[in-house]
Amino acid sequence: MVDPLTRLAVIHGTDKFGYHDYTPNYHTLFSHLRESPVRLMEIGVGGYQDADRGGESLEMWRDYFEAGQITGIDIQKKEMDLGDRVAILQGSQIDAAFLAELVKTRGPFDIIIDDGSHQNEHVVMSFQLLFPTLAAGGIYVAEDVQTSFFPRFGGSLELSPPNSVGFFQAMLWQMPEDVVRISRFHNMIALQKAGATPPPKPGKATRSINARDLTDDPEGQLAAQMQALPDDTLLEITFSDPLPDELGDLFARLFVEIDHREIAINFPDAATGALAPLTYGMHVERGCAVLVKGQNDYPSNFAFDFNHPRAKANFAAMEKLLLREGRERGLLLLADILTRAGEDARVDRLLARAEEIGASSRSFFNAAVRRRKITQDWDGAGRLLDRAVALYPDDYRIRSQLGAIFMKDKDPQAAVEQFQKAVELAPRDVLVRIQLATALARIDRLDEAIEHARKGVEMAPSHAGHKVQLGRLLIAAGNLEEGIETLKAALELDPDNANALRQLSRAHDARGDRAAALAAIKRALELRPDSHEYLRWQERLERG
């Protein structure tokens, strides 16, 4: 049985449930505000650069807070209508002037959620700019803080500044005057601002222990207490303020190690204490810390385990709900998850349900066409793409896919028309130029094909495959010397490119250099010994 927020997450298709396990925690944090006219702001709308993609979590918040005003911001321009209570503005999460104007016109906010760039520096800067503007009693959440341990996001095991987990961890020692509670869950940190109404205690039954009763091994004692508790039970530790050093060290380390699954991805030798796997969440206030007993082992989305028991249970609950209620975005998110899990039959059921309810988004066509390609249902893929082009005539990726289907259907003239339109719509996209070059060669328009292939190589000079394609076309046009030089340049980039060696062998043979041709094809066969085509070509050369 899923909670009300998780249900909304599933049907609207936000990855805050499924790839992540966030919405049960959000429900814990926000349920007491559900009937209030809250003002909520979320950093990050989703959908990357596409103006009409994203917004799934904004729809979830809109329906959860039925009297609330919802604001989303994104660095990319977004054009979508999510109803009168939802506004989406374009701007940066670290643009002080933009944020100040936003708070002035749409705030003060009762809830702020940072699901933006996840760059550590940005997380810290956004908090410093926005938390002071939060309404009294409001809640600020930093999401996906596992990037604190990922070097490519500016993270480190030492939590070297700027580091989001390290930044918030420091507050445990001396909690700021305007903060009354810091909560920590897997990949999430929430801070409650001081206000007239004290925040409700999270969770169910509570067992209390005084820090004075802990001996020389507080972690061992607390771990034993937690082991004995049923899941979802709260263990409350009371202490004098300020936090005792030894207990402070323990809580500070646990605050980090709650993300032990993420830490292990980049730092597999890092040690984890006994409490972390048993602690589903922790809440620290002045004079009190609460540990929530639960299995803290949900897989990281950076190394997702599709066979994890909790993940599998979540997927089953999602599937049951979506097949019954049938919302397009939710069906597509779960179809993506189960595609990655290799659950083809379940994916087909979800996509059939999506088609049944009239799904028409680009995401639907991408997913459905991908399945048709896998099953080699080229006619079905073509019909879907015909519909998609009619709905999205200016989407070059759909045009490109339709062109590829025409190539499979041995209709290169129709493919050329689609690829030409794709190039007009996206002249800087290298792949569609190479696709167009291939299609033009099929209808003997070699000069045009070479022109587009040259342009593709100019735009992506370090891509060996595009150089191979240009070399092949040059050889077909009889320009052997340039073709050979182009293929050699491809092999400098990728010495083990068997196709480049095969084309080079052809060029040497056409030039009458059988020894060079044999050397090239023999090297190609070392790389692809099971290729009958390469073997036959070698035999032909050896026969002379």
d(CA 189, CA 163): 13
The pLDDT, as a whole number, for residue 243 is 66
Do residues 152 and 140 lie in contact, with contact meaning Cβ atoms separated by under 8 Å?
Answer: no
Joined together, the tokens standing for residue 224 give 């034993």
For the ranges 126-135, 241-250, 317-326, the lowest mean pLDDT is seen at: 241-250
What is the share, in percent, of the chain residues with pLDDT greater than 90?
89
Comparison of pLDDT for 196 and 342, the residue scoring more: 342
Model confidence at 241, in pLDDT bands (50, 70, 90)?
A: low
The ranges assigned to domains in the chain are: 35-193, 201-304
Closest CA to 186 of 275, 114, 258: 258
Burial pattern 486-519, b for ≥16 Cβ within 10 A else e, equals bbebbbebbeebbbbbbbbbbbbbeeebeebbbe
Model confidence at 307, in pLDDT bands (50, 70, 90)?
A: very high
Closest CA to 284 of 363, 353, 184: 184
pLDDT tens, residue by residue, 463-476: 999 999 999 999 99
d(CA 423, CA 131): 46
The pLDDT, as a whole number, for residue 201 is 73
pLDDT tens, residue by residue, 65-101: 999 999 999 999 999 999 999 999 999 999 999 999 9
pLDDT tens, residue by residue, 509-529: 999 999 999 999 999 999 999
Model confidence at 224, in pLDDT bands (50, 70, 90)?
A: very high
Architecture category of domain 35-193 in CATH: 3-Layer(aba) Sandwich (3.40)
The pLDDT, as a whole number, for residue 1 is 60
pLDDT (mean) for 4-19: 96
pLDDT tens, residue by residue, 431-449: 999 999 999 999 999 999 9
Model confidence at 52, in pLDDT bands (50, 70, 90)?
A: confident
Statement: residue 11 has pLDDT above 70: yes
Rg (CA), the chain: 29
Model confidence at 498, in pLDDT bands (50, 70, 90)?
A: very high
**DSSP strands (E only) in 219-377:** 234-238, 279-285, 288-293
For the ranges 128-137, 157-166, 242-251, 390-399, the lowest mean pLDDT is seen at: 242-251
Comparison of pLDDT for 216 and 121, the residue scoring more: 121
Statement: residue 204 has pLDDT above 80: no
Statement: residue 111 has pLDDT above 70: yes
DSSP lists the bridge partners of residue 288 as: 238, 285
What angle, rounded to 10 degrees, do the helices at 96-106 and 120-130 form? 40
| Average confidence score pLDDT of the chain | 94
**DSSP strands (E only) in 338-389:** none
Edge-to-edge strand ranges of the sheet holding 288-293: 86-90, 69-74, 39-43, 111-114, 139-143, 188-193, 179-185, 279-285, 288-293, 234-238, 206-210
d(CA 406, CA 428): 23
Do residues 193 and 138 lie in contact, with contact meaning Cβ atoms separated by under 8 Å?
Answer: yes
The letter for the amino acid at 13 is: G
d(CA 226, CA 278): 7
The pLDDT, as a whole number, for residue 202 is 75
**H helices then E strands: how many in the chain?**
23, 11
Model confidence at 23, in pLDDT bands (50, 70, 90)?
A: very high
Q: How many other CB atoms are there within 10 angstroms of residue 235's CB atom?
A: 22
Longest dimension (CA), the chain: 93
* DSSP string of 217-229, one letter each residue: -HHHHHHHHHHHS
Q: Which residues are catalytic?
A: 118
